[in-house]
Amino acid sequence: MKNYFENDPWKIIERGFDPRFNKASESICSIGNGRMGQRANFEESYSGEKLQGSYLAGIYYPDKTRVGWWKVGYPEYFAKVINSVNWIGIRWVINGEELDLKNCDVSDFVRELDMKRGLLTRSFTAKLPGGEEVKVRTRRFYSMTHKDLGLIDYSLEPLNFSGKITIIPYLDFDIYNEDSNYGEQFWEGTGQRADIDRSFVQAKTKKLDFEARATMACRVFAGGDKIMESFSPADKESYVEHSLEVDAKQGQVLSIHKHVCIVSNYYYDTGDFEKVSHDQLDKSLELGFEKMLEKHFMVWEEKWKKHDIVIEGDVAAQQGIRFNIFHLNQTYTGEDPRLNIGPKGFTGEKYGGSTYWDTEAYCLPFYLSSADKKVARNLLKYRFNHLGKAIENAKKLGFSAGAALYPMVTMNGEECHNEWEITFEEIHRNAAIAYAIFDYTRYTGDEDYIVKYGLEVLIAICRFWAQRVNFSKPKQKYVMLGVTGPNEYENNINNNWYTNYAAVWCLRYTLENLEKLKKDDHSAFSKLVIKTSFDEKKETEKWRDIVENMFFPTDSERDIFLQQEGFLDKEIKPADQLPADQLPLNQNWSWDRILRSCYIKQADVLQGLYFFEHEFSKEEVERNFDYYEPITVHESSLSPCVHVIHAARLNKMNRAYELYLRTSRLDLDDYNKEVDEGLHITSMGGTWMSVVKGFGGMRVADGELHFNPKLPDHWTACKFTVLFRGRLIRVSVFRQHTEIMIIDGSTATLWLFGQKVVLEPNQQFETNNPGR
C-alpha cells in the first residue's frame, strides 16, 4: 500500500477506487470526537468487501473466552468495544436500481480526510448497469462541540438522465461484530419508531445492560431549495427508515442533510434518552449543517494551535505526524476519567478496543505535553480506580497480602486477555503503571498525586514483585522465572532483563517516596500504613533485600545486558538478511520457528534503557542499541518510536529517520500488512515521542525542561509546542539555529544544548546549533 495515498501536509487523499484497499481506507479515514467513532464506510449501499464499524466510548461486551485448553486463572471473557448502530446509511434507488459501487463503473473517485478540520469527504462519478450516470459528493463529521451528534451532507447529480430517484436514509441496529468468538450478536433491540420527521432505534447489550439510542432527522434539497414533501416512514425490529421519491431532473443536484443523535446510558439515564435526543437535534437543525460544521472547525483550529508539529522539507514526514496527532485527538479528549485509549481506538475491532499498558508507556507523554495536566491525571486515576480489581487479579493467580497485578487487557479493571504467555507471564505491564506515576510527577511537579493516590498503587505493585521473585541458591540472587518481556517473540523465559530491572526500580522508587512522606508528613504516612495494612519493617526489609540482590543477565564479552538468560544460545543473524517475502514473520513463520529465532518483535532491553535512560551512560545505551536494533524486526507498532529516540540521541540520524517514517506512516503505508483491521492508535503517541523526545531531544531533569534538537538531513525545519507546568513553549529548530519562546505563561528556566536560559513570556531565545 505504500504511496497509495497522496502526500499532502494536511490531508489523506485516496484518488481512484481500488476495492482491494477499501477496508484499509475505511480504517485510515476513520473519524471520531472522543465519545463516538466511525470507520470511513460508504453511506450508500456497498456489497463489496468492507468492515462496517461504528463505536461508542465506554460500551463493551464480555465475549465468552474461546481457547483450546482452559487453564486455571484464565478470565471468563474478552472485553470488546463493540460495533454499534449503523447511523450513516443512505440508500439511493435510481430508476429502480440501487446505487452500489461494486456494480457500477466508477470514475473520478476521491476519498479525502481533512485532518486540519476533522472532515471526511468523498466524490465520484458512477455509471449504473442501466446506463444512468450520477455525480456524488459527500461530507461527514462527528461534532466536536455537540458530542452526541453526527452529520452527513450527501449530494447526487443526475448527469445524463431525468427520472425517479428514491432517497432512503436509515438507522440499523441489527449489527454484528466480525470478531465475535461464537458468532453471537451482542445487541438486542428494545424499541424503534419511524415517524415522518424523526425516527429512532434503540438497543441494549445482551450482557451488562448497556443501552443506546440513535435518532435521526433529515432535510432534502433539490437545486438548493428545500423539498417540502414528507418522508414515508417504515420500521422493523432494530431498523427504521425514511423514504422519499423525487422526480429528478438532469443536472439538478439532490442533497440530503442527515442529522443523527446517538446517546447511551454511559452518559444519560435511559429515561432521558428521548428528551436529550430531541433537544440536541433541535439545536442541530436550527443551526443547520453549515453552521454546525463551522463550529466544529473552530474546535479543531484551537487544537492544532496547541498540538501541531510542523516539518519543513519533507511532506511525507509532515503528513505522517499530523495523521498520528489527528487520530490521538479524536480518540481521547481526557474529559472522562472512566475512559482510556484502546489500541485501535474507534477504527476497528481487533484487540477488543480495550486498555493495554500502551497508554502509560506511549500515550501519557503526548497528553502530558499537549493538554491540561488533569487530562494526564485522569489517565492515572483510571488505574487508581481499578486498584481493587488489580488486587483481585493477582489473588486469582495465587498472590496474597494486597499484591496487585494490573491486567494486560481490560475495560473495567478485570483481566480479560486469554493467552497464557500474555495473561500470566507478561507481568512487565505492572512496571508501566508504576513508571507512569513517576513520569507524571516528574513532568508536572504534582507531588500531591503521589500522596493521595500513587503510593497505594505502588505499594500493591511492590507486593506483587516481592512475591513473584524467588531466591536462587545456586546464584545467591533473586530471580524471576517464567515471564514474557515486551518482546513477545519470546515466551516463558527466565530473568528477562527489562522485567527484573523495572521491578527493582519500582521497589526503589516506592521506598524513596515512602521515606519522603514519612519525613514530610508523618500523619499522612500513618494513614497510608493503616489503609494499606503496610508492615513497614517487614516489607521494606524484604524490598531492600531484593533491590540489593536481584539477578541481571549480562554478557561481559560484549558488555551488554542480555534480554534473558540463554539468549546467546540462539543463532544471531541481522534482520536485514531476512527475505522480504518472509516478512512480517508473524504472518509467515510458525510460532515454533519464531520462538527459536533471535528476532525481536519490539524494544525489550531498549525499552528499559528508554524508561530509565537517566540511570545509564550514553555508552551503555549505544552498546545495547548496536547489538539489539539490527535483530529487531519492528513487527509491533510500538517498536520503532523507542528506537528513534535512542538513535537520535546517539547521532544515528539516518536510522532514526528510517524508523521515524515507519512509526509515523505505519498505517498510511501499511508496514505490518494489517491496517484493514483498524489503526494503531496507541503507537501514535510513540510517533509524537519520536519527534519531540527524539529529534527535539526533550527531557525533564530537576524540574526543568532540556532540549537537544537535531534534524534529519533533508528536513529544513521542525517546529513544535509543549505545555510544561502551565507554560506553552514553542521550539523551532532550523538547519543552523534553534529558537525557543514562552508563548503563554510565566517566566521559566529552560536548557538548550546544555545552556541555561531564563525566558520571560513572549521573549525569544536563539542560538546556533552545535555540530554533531
* Grid cell of 665 as nine digits: 506512516
DSSP 371: S
* 584 neighbors 666 (Cβ within 8 angstroms): no
Type of residue numbered 480:
M
* Grid cell of 535 as nine digits: 508492615
Exposed/middle/buried for residue 568 (C-beta within 10 Å: 0-12, 13-18, 19+): middle
* 496 neighbors 507 (Cβ within 8 angstroms): no
- Nearest CA to 273 out of 224, 218, 202 is that of 202
Exposed/middle/buried for residue 309 (C-beta within 10 Å: 0-12, 13-18, 19+): buried
Q: How far apart are CA 742 and CA 557, in angstroms?
A: 48
Q: How far apart are CA 352 and CA 416, in angstroms?
A: 10
Backbone angles phi, psi at 93, to 5 degrees: -110, 115
Backbone angles phi, psi at 134, to 5 degrees: -135, 150
Q: Is the peptide bond before 584 cis (omega within 30 degrees of 0)?
A: yes
| Helical residues (DSSP H) of 153-272, grouped into ranges | none
| Beta bridge mates, 494 | none
Quote the distance between the C-alpha of residue 487 and its chain's center.
Answer: 20
Which residues does 73 contact at the CB level (< 8 Å), separation at least 6? Answer: 396, 397, 398, 423, 424
Which residues does 70 contact at the CB level (< 8 Å), separation at least 6? Answer: none
Torsion of CA 613, 614, 616, 618, to 10 degrees: 70
Q: How far apart are CA 467 and CA 221, in angstroms?
A: 69
Could you tell me if residue 351 is left (phi over 0), alpha (psi between -120 and 50 degrees) or otherwise beta? left
* 709 neighbors 718 (Cβ within 8 angstroms): yes
- Nearest CA to 387 out of 334, 462, 446, 461 is that of 461
* 489 neighbors 594 (Cβ within 8 angstroms): yes
* 111 neighbors 122 (Cβ within 8 angstroms): yes
Place of cell 478496543: 353
* Grid cell of 202 as nine digits: 434503540
- Nearest CA to 500 out of 468, 475, 472, 474 is that of 468
Give the CA count within 13 Å in the CB-facing half-sphere of 635.
20
DSSP 336-357: -TT----TTTTS-SGGGG-B-T
Backbone angles phi, psi at 31, to 5 degrees: -125, 160
Does the annotation count 539 as an active-site position?
A: no
- Given the residues 44, 211, 415, 488, select the one marked as catalytic: 488
The catalytic residue positions are 488
